[in-house]
């Protein structure tokens, strides 16, 4: 049989997706001219079926810490695959226990126990349940603009109406307060609060950094009220912000920390709740009170173990800090050149957001970058902010290339910004 023409194959794939998966999203792909599906990816590059290469500054929403297909992570998964992919669930699995031990060793303070699951939202669900069972209290305090995932519990503590309203009623007893306002947090936390849940830096909210002292104040407020502090490091964790965990920038240790995304090194999906002895003590009496069939499976744990090794060996947090400072400086120079178009550039490490002066400018910048073969995408809870989150292994030459694309794309958008 002759090989299928890539263009024919591309149209067949898009129309299959349109007819049987998500017609609305397929329309967006067509509108953006993204008619070719991704076929291969290595390091910081994604190649589509037509052979077009894109420099990825989105990293699958922060998944590709060590880059696409890091050889050490792939090798670890391949080796595990030949031995045992999934667990019997009756016998103990070595990679699960080894990963728990390793993560407990790396996590700050007295975070010593791990529960493994398969995604960020699931990690948040687990943390919310652990907080309730530990404190015997029903309530949660979360931040406006927060994003914690789209399952019911995670959505209930997320802070954007457009995703919440169609699914109401959500979990009762959730109060939202402005992110960064310690006095508002203090007023909202009370004797019925099981936990405060915060992202150390809001990701989908538009890369919002906390004022210095905010996370420490949150810790103190929780301690005073007998509530737990949950830090959602699903996006900020695993070196992205220049430290292995973002809470380390402010020296704050939560009771429960949620991880996912880059924990699997961009090769396997895995999530984790990492917590104190107290927050995990309910397992002593009821080991099956919270479970997941696939959570902690050998393949995902092998990927996470290899990822943690790569993080350390290649000092990916240090690389993120160094490269991020350079990129932030360059983007800030560009922002100063185009004040009509860019309101602000902010971030930490390689978690950077470009806030545009209007929503249309965000879309236009994305399209202009795409035309220059650079992938970047807006944040979910704030379409005016384009995130710049390349794999942490991106080289200096690739960063130069990304900066050049941003320079040209911003000039292009600025020329028409009044019409957007």
Does 143 sit near ligand PLP (CB under 6 A)? no
234 binds ligand PLP per the rule CB under 6 A: yes
Task: Report the distance separating Cα 153 and Cα 107, nearest Å.
Answer: 25
Q: Quote the least distance from Cβ 112 to ligand PLP, whole Å.
A: 22
Find the binder of ligand PLP among 36, 96, 235, 297 (CB under 6 A). 235
Q: Which position among 56, 115, 179, 232 bears the catalytic label?
A: 232
DSSP annotation of 199 reads: -
Task: Tell which one of 67, 139, 149, 266 touches ligand PLP (CB under 6 A).
Answer: 149
Task: Give exposure, 66-96, as e/b (b: 16+ Cβ within 10 Å).
Answer: bbbebebbbebbeebeeeeeebeeeeebebb
How far is 104 from 227, CA to CA, in rounded Å? 22
**DSSP state for residue 220 in the 8-state scheme:** H
Q: Reply yes or no: is the peptide bond before residue 169 cis, omega within 30 of 0.
A: yes
Contact, 131 vs 187, CB < 8 A? no
Tell which one of 113, 116, 147, 214 touches ligand PLP (CB under 6 A): 147
Does 140 interact with ligand PLP (rule: CB under 6 A)? Answer: no
Q: Does position 119 bind ligand PLP by CB under 6 A?
A: yes
Smallest distance, Å, CB 387 to ligand PLP?
10
How far is Cα 299 from Cα 311, in angstroms, rounded to an integer? 18
Q: Judged by CB under 6 A, does residue 264 bind ligand PLP?
A: no
Residue from 260, 366, 392, 393 touching ligand PLP (CB under 6 A): that is: 260
Q: Are 298 and 95 in contact (CB under 8 A)?
A: yes
Active-site entry in 261, 348, 406, 414: 261
- Min CB(153)–ligand PLP separation in Å: 11
- % helix, strand, coil for the chain, step of 5: 45, 20, 35
Stretch that binds ligand PLP, among 9-17, 51-59, 212-220, 228-236 (CB under 6 A): 228-236
Query: Residue 337's closest CA among 406, 400, 418, 394?
Result: 406
Q: How far is the CB of 120 from ligand PLP (least distance, A)?
A: 2
- The nearest distance, CB 204 to ligand PLP, in angstroms, is 5
Q: How far apart are CA 263 and CA 118, in angstroms?
A: 10
Q: Which one, 120 or 126, has the nearer CB to ligand PLP?
A: 120
Q: Which tokens is 75 given?
A: 């090798």
Region near ligand PLP per CB under 6 A, out of 9-17, 90-98, 196-204, 346-354: 196-204
Closest CA to 278 of 395, 195, 218: 195
Q: Return the range that interacts with ligand PLP (CB under 6 A); candidates 7-15, 92-100, 107-115, 229-237.
A: 229-237
Q: Which of residues 200-219 bind ligand PLP (CB under 6 A)?
A: 203-204
Does the annotation mark 232 as catalytic? yes
CB of 100 or CB of 257, closer to ligand PLP: 257
Residues 134, 283: contact at Cβ < 8 Å?
A: no
Residue of 140, 147, 179, 280 marked active site: 147
Cβ(192)–Cβ(138) under 8 Å? yes
Q: Is residue 121 involved in binding ligand PLP (CB under 6 A)?
A: yes
Given a contact cutoff of 8 angstroms between Cβ atoms, the answer to whether 144 and 176 are in contact is: yes
The two structure tokens encoding residue 339: 């004040």
| Cα→Cα distances 268→107, 151, 258, 394, Å | 21, 20, 17, 20
Q: Residues 58 to 77: which contact ligand PLP by CB under 6 A?
A: 61
199 forms part of the interface with ligand PLP (CB under 6 A): yes
Q: Least Å distance between CB 286 and ligand PLP?
A: 25
Give the residue nearest to ligand PLP (CB): 120
Euclidean distance between CA atoms 139 and 160, whole angstroms: 19
Instruction: Quote the least distance from Cβ 360 to ligand PLP, whole Å.
Output: 24
| 363 counts as binding ligand PLP under rule CB under 6 A | no
Which residues bind to ligand PLP, rule: CB under 6 A?
61, 119-121, 124, 147-149, 199, 203-204, 232, 234-235, 260
């Amino acid at each position: 049989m002759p090989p299928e023409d890539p263009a024919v194959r591309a149209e067949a794939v898009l129309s299959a997706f349109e007819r049987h998966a998500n017609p609305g999203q397929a329309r967006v792909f067509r509108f953006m001219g993204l008619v070719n599906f991704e076929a291969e990816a290595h390091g910081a590059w994604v190649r589509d079926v037509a052979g077009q290469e894109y420099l990825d500054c989105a990293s699958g929403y922060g998944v590709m810490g060590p880059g696409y297909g890091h050889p050490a992570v792939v090798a670890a998964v391949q080796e595990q695959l030949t031995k045992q992919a999934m667990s019997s669930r009756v016998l103990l699995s070595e990679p699960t226990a080894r990963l728990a031990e390793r993560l407990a060793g790396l996590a700050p303070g007295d975070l010593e126990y791990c529960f493994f699951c398969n995604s960020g939202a699931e990690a948040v669900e687990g943390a919310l349940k652990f907080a309730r069972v530990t404190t015997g209290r029903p309530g949660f305090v979360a931040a406006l603009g927060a994003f914690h995932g789209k399952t019911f519990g995670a959505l209930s503590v997320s802070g954007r109406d457009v995703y919440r309203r169609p699914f109401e009623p959500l979990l009762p007893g959730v109060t939202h307060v402005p992110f960064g306002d310690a006095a508002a947090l203090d007023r909202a936390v009370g004797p019925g609060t099981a936990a405060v849940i915060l992202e150390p830096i809001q990701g989908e909210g538009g890369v919002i950094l906390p004022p210095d002292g905010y996370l420490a104040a949150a810790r103190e407020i929780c301690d005073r009220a007998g509530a737990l502090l949950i830090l959602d490091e699903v996006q900020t964790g695993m070196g992205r912000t220049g430290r292995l965990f973002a809470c380390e920038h402010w020296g704050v240790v939560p009771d429960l920390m949620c991880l996912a995304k880059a924990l699997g090194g961009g090769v396997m999906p895995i999530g984790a709740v990492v917590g104190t002895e107290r927050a995990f003590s309910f397992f002593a009496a009821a080991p099956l009170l919270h479970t997941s069939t696939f959570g902690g499976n050998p393949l995902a744990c092998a990927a996470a173990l290899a990822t943690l090794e790569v993080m350390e060996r290649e000092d990916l947090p240090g690389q993120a800090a160094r490269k991020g400072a350079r990129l932030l400086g360059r983007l800030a120079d560009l922002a100063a050149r185009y004040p009509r178009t860019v309101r602000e550039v902010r971030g930490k490490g390689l978690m950077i957001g470009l806030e545009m002066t209007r929503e249309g400018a965000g879309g236009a910048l994305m399209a202009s970058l795409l035309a220059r073969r650079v992938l970047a995408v807006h944040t979910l809870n704030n379409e005016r902010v384009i995130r710049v989150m390349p794999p942490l292994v991106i080289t200096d030459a690739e960063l130069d290339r990304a900066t050049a694309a941003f320079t040209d794309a911003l000039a292009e958008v600025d020329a028409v910004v009044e019409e957007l």
